[in-house]
Amino acid sequence: MTLATIWLTIARKEFADALRSRMIWGIVVIIAVMTSLSAGISLLIPDVEGGAEMAIGGASQFAGLLVPIMALIAAYLAIAGERESGSLKVILGLPPSRGEVLLGKFLGRSGVVAIGLALGFVVSGVVTAVLYGGLPMGAFIGTTVLTVLLGVSFVGIAIGISAVTATRARAMTLAITAYLGLTLLWDLAPNAVHLLVTGEMPGGVVPAWFLLLQGLSPTGAYNALVQQLLLGGGTAVEARIGGQAPGYLDPAVFLGILFAWTVVPLLVGYLRFRRADLS
């Protein structure tokens, strides 16, 4: 009980700080505006047959780029900032252990990102419903949940980064590296491997392992999951690989990847933070 109360107390404080700093409203506004715009954009392109699902897909594409950077910004200083300012010494001089601080920070900041994203999506859901005269609730709620999972996963990465760095500057460097590497550069990797293996760039139909490679990053897993959700489980994959989908392209695999990207950075961060000299 003691344990639970302490990390809950820390999580609650983190959440209250985010409300006070209006960080959460920043997330809501950015997500609401950007996803609403991208949902509306397909209406402006005359030749595209855009349904509400297309609109949600468009919004998710944008979210896949925006959410990681917002989650990283929301959490990368959580521990490193306090370490640099010295307030960590005050907190750790009180009963909380380093593990409880890390857990409380992760939960608090995840809550902020999750609620911010959910509220932002509610706004864009209303916009989409107005523009398209209806909203497929299953697809919309599913996409919202997946986007929240993506956000939480990048909070895990950011807290991990924050736990292994002693200064703000170093935490920022690692956060930028993580963003570029995981959301932008990762897309190039499957293409490079494809070129190496087959001698040509990937065309309309790709091998199944190509989709797995694409989905190994958190953003890749998110995109794979959203596609499977919007286009229907097997069909999305089968159209790309031109045949039966192997078991490793099951949504559960991509959910597992997203989960691993949340937990592994936290664990690595904890193991390093637990032994760190804070002076």
Partner 1 sequence: METHSRVLSDSRKPVDDGAIAIETIGLTKRYGKDVLAVDDLDLTVYEGEIFGFLGPNGAGKSTTIDVIMDYVRPSAGSATVLGYDAQTETREIHERVGILPDGYGLYDRLTGRKHLEYAIALKQSDDTVDDLLDRVGLDAAAADRVVGGYSKGMMQRLALAIALVGDPELLILDEPSSGLDPNGVRLVREIARNHADRGKTVFFSSHILSQVEAVCDRVAILNRGRLVAIDSIDGLRDTLGTGSTVTLSVDAIPDSLTLGELAGVSDVAVDGRTIRVSVDEATAKVDVIDRIRDDGAAILDVTIEESSLEDLFSAYTGDVPPKVDASEVER
Binding site for partner 1 (CB under 8 A): 2, 5-6, 9-10, 13, 17, 20-21, 82, 85-97, 275, 277-279
Q: Taking the complex as a whole, how short is the minimal distance between the CB of residue 172 and partner 1, in angstroms?
A: 18
Nearest CB to partner 1, comparing residues 244 and 279 = 279
Burial of 217 (0-12, 13-18, 19+ CB in 10 A): buried
Structure tokens at 152: 């939480």
Q: Taking the complex as a whole, how short is the minimal distance between the CB of residue 12 and partner 1, in angstroms?
A: 9
Q: Taking the complex as a whole, how short is the minimal distance between the CB of residue 181 and partner 1, in angstroms?
A: 30
Q: Taking the complex as a whole, how short is the minimal distance between the CB of residue 279 and partner 1, in angstroms?
A: 5
Q: Are 237 and 245 in contact (CB under 8 A)?
A: yes
Nearest CB to partner 1, comparing residues 17 and 238 = 17
The Cα–Cα gap between 83 and 63 comes to 31
The Cα–Cα gap between 149 and 28 comes to 16
End-to-end CA distance of the chain: 31
Nearest CB to partner 1, comparing residues 22 and 242 = 22
Beta strands per DSSP E along 76-196: none
Nearest CB to partner 1, comparing residues 49 and 277 = 277
